[in-house]
């Protein structure tokens, strides 16, 4: 596959040369939450053909953004992980997510897929560091067949795919309810009251969880800088 370039001596252009092709930044998004097998990436990015996925992963390897690893036992299977350079794209991906929540998301469109694993980065994008000051807790989320966790430590969060070793609280729900939470159609407190979310473990940690994430208020594009 030919490598296209903007042919500009500019940091933004050079970065887009590396990750600006269709699907490439979404692959980075997937790997930011931890190593993934080729099949895991196929499952998360439905609509991306096998050949294109293989080509994009070769590109990320060639450019030093991802590399092959072997997952530890019991899996002991080949997978992909981000390099140091790839991991440093994390803040840029989160910034895009925050911008998109405010300016691009809106309501879920017919036919749009939703994967629970995408909520891992969503939690970091919605995280309210001020509300988390003094909070130290590990949360495990079980959504259908997907499991991920978040470690909150005094205003910081580290969200990763996979189970937690010793979670303080376990949250269980469905894909649809998680999508409603991400869309802002319901809150965690409402979902718990309506029994569409179950929460077990430390009660204080569960109460604190309800205040740790704040979805940016949606806004309309097209207004001037003063909103007129």
Looking at residue 123, what is its pLDDT? 87
Average pLDDT, integer, range 106-131: 86
Classify residue 109: in a domain, yes or no. no
Complete DSSP assignment for 5-38? ------HHHHHHHHH-STTHHHHHHHHHTS-B-H
How many structural domains compose the chain? 2
Tell me how far apart the alpha carbons of residues 140 and 172 are, in angstroms, rounded to a whole number. 8
In this structure, of 57-61, 93-97, 189-193, 214-218, the range with the lowest mean pLDDT score is 214-218
Q: What is residue 97's DSSP assignment?
A: H
Q: What is residue 89's DSSP assignment?
A: T
Domain range for residue 124? Answer: 116-209
Classify residue 132: in a domain, yes or no. yes
pLDDT tens figures, 58-71: 999 999 999 999 99
Report the CATH number at residue 18.
1.10.10.10
Tell me, yes or no, whether 75 and 124 share the same domain.
no
Looking at residue 76, what is its pLDDT? 86
Looking at residue 223, what is its pLDDT? 60
Tell me how far apart the alpha carbons of residues 70 and 20 are, in angstroms, rounded to a whole number. 28
Q: Are 52 and 60 in contact (CB under 8 A)?
A: no
**What's the predicted TM-score (pTM) here?**
0.84
Report the CATH number at residue 133.
3.30.1050.10
């Amino acid at each position: 596959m030919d490598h296209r370039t903007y042919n500009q001596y500019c940091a933004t252009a050079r970065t887009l040369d590396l990750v600006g092709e269709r699907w490439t930044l979404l692959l980075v998004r997937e790997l930011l939450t931890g190593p993934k097998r080729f099949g895991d990436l196929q499952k998360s990015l439905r609509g991306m053909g096998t050949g294109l996925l293989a080509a994009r992963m070769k590109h990320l390897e060639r450019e030093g953004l991802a590399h092959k690893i072997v997952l530890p036992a019991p899996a002991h299977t080949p997978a992909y992980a981000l390099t140091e350079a790839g991991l440093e794209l994390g803040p840029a991906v989160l910034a895009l997510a925050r911008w998109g929540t405010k300016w691009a998301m809106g309501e879920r469109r017919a036919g749009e897929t939703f994967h629970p694993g995408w909520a891992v980065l969503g939690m970091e994008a919605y995280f309210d560091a001020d509300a988390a000051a003094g909070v130290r807790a590990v949360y495990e989320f079980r959504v259908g067949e997907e499991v991920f966790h978040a470690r909150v430590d005094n205003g910081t969060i580290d969200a990763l795919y996979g189970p937690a070793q010793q979670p303080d609280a376990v949250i269980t729900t469905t894909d649809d309810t998680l999508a409603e939470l991400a869309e802002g159609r319901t809150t965690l407190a409402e979902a718990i009251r309506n029994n569409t979310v179950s929460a077990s473990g430390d009660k204080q940690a569960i109460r604190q969880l309800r205040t740790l994430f704040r979805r940016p208020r949606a806004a309309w594009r097209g207004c001037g800088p003063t909103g007129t």
